[in-house]
């Protein structure tokens, strides 16, 4: 039996929190909250195991808010799955916090990962209106480059916006002139995200980006870079310039 | 019970109804130990019997929780109170209101009736004294016109229990 007590501490959206009595580290309430959360998880496992003869596979894909099979599924970096409409409504309408509802980890919306199941990639989530509420487009996936192909003529494969059918498009001589423009934002996205430290800094630091973040991936990310990543940007620009020159050389050859 | 009359009596949204149905099914398959859901056809108000845990000062005592769900549960926390007589506890007022953060500011839509019950039982079990909160009389007087605990601006008042 875990014993609880209430302890006051400064937490952005609450005055007091659980702390377990068996671990009296009052200086670290977050740890204690997690330990309580853990108790719940254990119980949830216990409760799911008896039915279906011990397997609860469907539960692995249930939204943590509505408990239905996730619609427009989106997963946080902490691994918790939600419907995009459910998570959006919680974050923006009901809580105004940026915490994962399950584990209280900080949620950065540009780092949410949409899950694209088979046969769903052509469906624009905006075509399914949510009654009473304008829910923006689900954040787009961030697609790293594919592994280099053995054929030198096709060594580049870049995705645009994370939809699988586009990813296999190849850059022949003909396509490159129009392709370069789209290529660069993709590169910027994946590289800068690789360099950045996780943003566990002050919350207000990324507040102003909200309005732009939902209108598709690239636009939002670029604003993000110009504000936060000057040094990385310069490095990247040099790298990209060299890369472009290399690309042109390859095409000429 | 006056406090409950104030809680939102708007009908549950479709999302709320579906979720509560799931929670109820799960509860019926495997209820949290120490709790019994009193079966009614009212999905919006659950009455749950709490059995004090063995080895605690509430052992062999039974209390009743009343859980009222708002229209847009789980985005908003349910209203949870003890029906009279409420257990004597430093965080439970004589009108049944419970000073427990997850019922108010720290609510998360990933929580369930079951997880609330476990928290409340844990809170009970941690107590070593049977006494009311220090400000009980003042608080209860303020709530006389049937105010919901969700309208209270809760403030932590004791970290020794
Ligand atoms: Zn959902
Ligand atoms: Zn999480």
Of B23, B118, B154, nearest to A43 by CB-CB distance is: B118
Say whether pLDDT at A213 is over 50.
no
CB contact under 8 A, B26 and A6: no
> How many DSSP H helices and E strands does chain B contain?
4, 4
Residue B96 lies in a domain: yes
Chain A positions in Cβ-Cβ contact with residue B114 (cut-off 8 Å): 43, 47
Q: How far is CA A253 from CA A148, A224, A248, B137, in A?
A: 19, 37, 9, 88
* A196-212: average pLDDT: 31
Question: Considering B80, B99, B123, B143, which one is annotated as catalytic?
Answer: B99
pLDDT confidence bin for A202, thresholds 50/70/90 = very low
Domain coverage including residue B73: 9-140
Task: Tell me the average pLDDT across B13-25.
Answer: 96
Q: What is the domain-level CATH number for residue B129?
A: 3.10.110.10
Q: Is the dihedral of CA B130, B108, B33, B7 positive or negative?
A: positive
Q: What's phi and psi for A192, nearest 5 deg?
A: -65, -35
Assigned domain for B47 exists: yes
Tokens matching residue A202? 């002050």
**Residue B123 structure tokens:** 């809170």
Please state the rounded mean pLDDT for residues A37-60: 44
Any residues with CB less than 8 A from the CB of A45 and at least 6 apart, and which?
A: none
**Does residue A6 sit at the B interface (CB-CB below 8 Å)?**
yes
Contacts B99 to A, Cβ<8 Å? 6
Q: How does strand A81-83 pair with strand A113-114?
A: unpaired
Structural domain contains residue B20? yes
- Closest ligand to Cα A75: 2
Average pLDDT, chain A: 57
pLDDT by residue (tens digit) across B6-18?
444 689 999 999 9
User: What is the percent of chain A with per-residue pLDDT over 70, rounded to a whole number?
Assistant: 36
Question: Is B60 domain-assigned?
Answer: yes
Q: How far apart are CA A115 and CA A123, in angstroms?
A: 13
Distances (CA, A) of B10 to A90, B44, B71: 20, 10, 6
Can you read off the two tokens belonging to residue B15? 């999302």
Q: Tens digit of pLDDT for each residue in A147-188?
A: 777 665 544 444 344 343 333 333 333 333 333 334 444 433
Give A71 Cα–ligand 1 centroid separation in angstroms: 6
Q: Cα(A201) to centroid of ligand 2, in Å?
A: 18
Note the ipTM here: 0.88
User: What pLDDT score was predicted for residue A214?
Assistant: 28
C-alpha–C-alpha distance, residues B85 and B1, integer Å: 11
Stretch A26-48: mean pLDDT: 37
- Record the tokens describing residue A170, joined without a space: 């190849």
Phi, psi of B126 (to 5 degrees): -80, -15
| A89 CA from centroid of ligand 1 (Å) | 10
Say yes or no for a CB contact (<8 Å) between A46 and B105.
no
The answer to whether B143 is a known catalytic residue is: no
User: Which band of pLDDT confidence, cut at 50, 70 and 90, is reported for residue A224?
Assistant: very low
Q: How confident is the model over B123-160, as pLDDT tens digits?
A: 999 999 999 999 999 999 988 877 888 888 776 554 44
Instruction: Give the DSSP H/E element, type plus range, for residue B6.
Output: helix B2-6
Secondary-structure class of domain A62-127 per CATH: alpha beta
Helix count (H) and strand count (E) of chain A? 7, 5
Of all residues in chain A, the one with the smallest CA distance to B108 is A101
Q: Quick check: B126 and A68 CB within 8 A?
A: no
Tell me the mean pLDDT in the region A84-109: 92
- Intervals of CATH 3.30.40.10 along chain A: 62-127
Q: Residue B131 in contact with residue B90, Cβ under 8 Å?
A: yes
CB contact under 8 A, B105 and A18: no
For B31, the closest chain A residue by CA position comes to A47
CA torsion A178-A179-A185-A189 (nearest 10°) is 170
pLDDT of residue B13: 95
Backbone angles phi, psi at A167, to 5 degrees: -65, -30
Q: Model's pTM, two decimal places?
A: 0.59
Size of interface A-B (CB pairs under 8 A): 101
Counting the structural domains of chain B, the total is 1
């Amino acid at each position: 039996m875990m014993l609880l007590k209430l302890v006051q501490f400064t937490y952005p959206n609450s005055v007091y929190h659980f702390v377990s009595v068996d671990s009296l580290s009052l200086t670290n309430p977050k740890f204690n909250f997690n330990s309580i959360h853990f108790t719940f998880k254990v119980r949830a496992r216990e409760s799911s195991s008896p039915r279906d003869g011990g397997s609860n596979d469907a539960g692995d894909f249930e939204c943590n808010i509505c408990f239905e099979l996730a619609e427009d599924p989106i997963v946080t970096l902490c691994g918790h799955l939600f419907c995009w409409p459910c998570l959006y409504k919680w974050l923006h309408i009901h809580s105004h916090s940026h915490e994962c509802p399950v584990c209280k980890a900080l949620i950065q919306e540009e780092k949410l990962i949409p899950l694209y199941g088979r046969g769903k990639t052509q469906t624009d989530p905006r075509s399914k209106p949510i009654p009473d509420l304008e829910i923006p487009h689900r954040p787009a996936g961030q697609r790293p480059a594919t592994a280099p192909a053995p054929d030198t003529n096709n060594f580049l494969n870049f995705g645009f916006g994370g939809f699988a059918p586009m990813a296999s498009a190849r850059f022949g001589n003909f396509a490159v002139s129009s392709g370069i423009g789209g290529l660069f934002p993709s590169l910027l996205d994946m590289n800068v995200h690789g360099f950045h430290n996780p943003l566990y800094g002050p919350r207000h630091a990324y507040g102003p980006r909200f309005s732009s973040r939902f209108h598709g991936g690239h636009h939002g990310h670029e604003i993000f870079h110009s504000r936060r990543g000057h040094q990385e940007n310069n490095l990247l620009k040099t790298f990209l310039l060299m890369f472009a020159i290399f690309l042109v050389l390859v095409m000429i050859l | 019970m006056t406090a409950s009359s104030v809680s939102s009596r708007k009908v549950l949204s479709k999302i709320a109804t579906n979720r509560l149905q799931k929670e109820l099914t799960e509860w019926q398959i495997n209820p949290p130990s120490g709790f019994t859901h009193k079966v009614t056809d009212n999905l919006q108000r659950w009455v749950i019997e709490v059995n004090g845990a063995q080895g605690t000062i509430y052992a062999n005592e039974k209390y009743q929780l009343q859980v009222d769900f708002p229209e847009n549960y789980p985005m908003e926390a349910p209203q949870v109170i003890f029906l009279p007589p409420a257990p004597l506890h430093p965080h439970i007022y004589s009108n049944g209101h419970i000073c427990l953060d997850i019922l108010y500011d720290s609510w998360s839509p990933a929580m369930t009736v079951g997880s609330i019950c476990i928290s409340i039982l844990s809170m009970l079990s941690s107590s070593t004294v049977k006494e009311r909160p220090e400000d009980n009389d003042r608080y209860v007087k303020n709530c006389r016109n049937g105010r919901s605990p969700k309208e209270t601006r809760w403030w932590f008042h004791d970290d020794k229990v």
